[in-house]
Structure 1
Amino acid sequence: MRAWKNLAEAYEASFGRLCAGTIDSMLQVLEDPATPSTFPRRLLDVGSGTGALARAAAACGFNVEGVDRELSMVDLSTRRIPGVRFGVGALPALPYLDGIFDAVTANFVINHVARPAASVAELARVCAPGGTVAITIWPAGPSPLYDLWSDVTACAGPPRGTRIHPDQDFERSEAGLARLLETAGLEGEKAFTVSWTFSIRPEDLWLGVVAGIASIGETYRSQPPDARASMQKVFARRTAQLSRDGLLHLRSTAVLASGRAT
């Protein structure tokens, strides 16, 4: 897996905005009216990135800690979000004792790990019995953003991106993610699809590509200069066709699954 070293600002301006589309839904599944609490619950946000989910959870009354494998993400979120502790760590080996968090979140993290089942089991390990683990992934299948990237890469060399071993992979669907949670020993697992509109200026989205973020960014960075120029021209032409009021408005979907630790 490629380390996103020193890419925090580019990620925040581009793909970070896309990933923020599930934050409200994730926080909703953590609310349990049957077990009201009189004290702030401890929440660990794994793969915290620039801290958008951690900030929102803190505003909802959680005592939040975030962890990310990339130091520039940790530095940026630490500077911008007072009162939330951020540290360096990565799945499937988190630097925490068993069962010390009342809730654990992983927003678009399991898509990118080499060992998904072991990683979900690690999320369950650090969650206290009765606590909730909530996870999101990108589902398989086409989407407006996927179609855009397909057009952009048609003039480039072979797509780049991390491919996990087939023995470690899982079905990128509601059923597939629910099975991962069940295998990890989580109970009452449920999975559903979340939809939202991702709105962004084309030039901000392209920042993430140039920085090498995600598979599209890795593909771009692997190309010779002439292919990069062609990719940018296709992107400019397609986004000019798609944009309204200077913005792209792309319908996006994710699978959200949650379960209770035992």
Structure 2
Amino acid sequence: MTAFDEYERRAWAGRAAAFAGSFAKLCAHPVPQLLDAAAVREGVRVLDVGTGTGTVAAAACERGAKVTAVDAEPSMVELAGRAVPSAEVLSAVLPDLPFEDGVFDAVVGNFVINHVGRPKDALAELRRVVRPGGRIALTIWAVPAPPGQALLGRAVEAAGATRPAHLPPLAAEDDFPRDPEGMAGLLASARLREATCETLRWEHRAGAEEWWSGAAAGVAFIGQLLLSQPEETRVEIRRHFDVLSQEFLGADGRLVLPHAALLASARR
């Protein structure tokens, strides 16, 4: 396990409810396209890796698929197990999945590959558990991020907050370009065929307090960065957030936040 993986386990520990009340709605947007890219339909044996609150697993079950879902965080497994009783929900950590070779027709991962310390090893494991000819589809946040997607990060930067040493970046040798070419290349490097990648763009709507609440609860990297700051810095970040949020205020008083993600798929 890399230092990045260890950080991820600490960062997400016990945060399923906070994620469900904040960023989970945002992450649900690409789910239909993700399942289409993996050709998930009735009777398909599908593995949902990093299921989180179970949004992808639930949508796959609605299509009549035979769904197994895994997550590394116990609170997510518990939440998803309750939310999607028709799926088999298990605890598992990439790149070591508790399945035989080639047991799934499709594997999907919604914003998961950005949470593993060795993406190539994770993809090799996903390739192992999907059958020859089966499909793998993944989403990841695009870089550079649109302004709405970068709102919280802009507030942190405006406050002069720094990244502490206990929040390690992905090792340079394990990183890859977060653009369509880089993502398709990552899949191809795992000996997956017909790798393609497209950019999905949408506007996410959320109340300012809802959007702030995820970070305030320590959800994801931005939340861990916020919690690592002294109290006076957190107050300053919130002040900048309130000011910058005005750029995205809609007529109904909610934020309209442009986002972009990459959707990549390939075949074994």
TM over 0.5: yes
Residue segments in structure 1 that go unaligned for 5+ positions in a row: none
SS of the aligned residue for 2:204 comes to strand
Shift of 1:65: 0.9
| Backbone CA RMSD of aligned residues | 1.6
Instruction: Report the more deviating stretch, 187-196 or 235-244.
Output: 235-244
Identify the residue that residue 103 of structure 2 maps to in structure 1. 100
Unaligned runs of 5+ in 2: 1-6
Larger displacement relative to structure 2 (125-134 or 137-146): 137-146
Which of 146, 153, 159 is the equivalent residue of 2:163?
159
The CA distance in 2 between the partners of 1:110 and 1:133, in whole Å, is 12
Asked if residue 66 in structure 1 is aligned to residue 69 in structure 2, the reply is yes
**How far does residue 71 in structure 1 lie from its aligned partner after superposition?**
0.4
Task: Return 74-83 or 136-145, whichever deviates more.
Answer: 136-145
- Worse-matched range after superposition: 44-53 or 147-156: 147-156
**1:195 is the counterpart of 2:198:** no
1:241 deviates by 4.3
TM-score normalised over the length of structure 1: 0.92
In the TM superposition, 1:18-167 aligns within 5 A as 18-31=26-39, 40-153=43-156, 154-159=158-163, 161-167=167-173
Matched, 1:227 2:245: no
Q: Conserved in 2, the CA contact under 8 Å of 1:51 and 1:81?
A: yes
Moved more, 240-249 or 199-208: 240-249
Residue 250 of structure 1 pairs with residue 254 of structure 2? no
Q: Following TM superposition, by how much is the alpha carbon of 1:30 offset from its aligned partner in structure 2, in angstroms?
A: 2.3
Residue of structure 1 equivalent to 2:4: none
Identity of counterpart residues, as a percentage? 38
Letter in 2 for 1:133: I
TM-score, normalised with respect to structure 2: 0.90
- Deviation digits for residues 186-213 of structure 1 (CA, Å, limit 9, x no counterpart): 1111111111221111111111101111
Contact 1:156/1:223 (8 A) holds in 2: no
Deviation at 1:75, TM superposition (A): 0.4
Q: From the superposition, tell whether residues 88 and 210 of structure 1 become closer, same or farther in structure 2 (CA, over 3 Å).
A: same
Question: d(CA) in 2 for partners of 1:157 and 1:141?
Answer: 20
Residue matched to 1:173 = 179
Residue pair 2:22, 2:210 contacting (<8 A) in 1 also: yes
Name which of 200, 218, 222 aligns with 1:216.
222
Question: Does the residue aligned with 1:145 lie in a helix, a strand or coil?
Answer: coil
Match of 1:21, SS state, is coil
Code of the residue aligned with 2:98 in structure 1: it is P
Where 1:251 maps in the other structure, the secondary structure is: strand
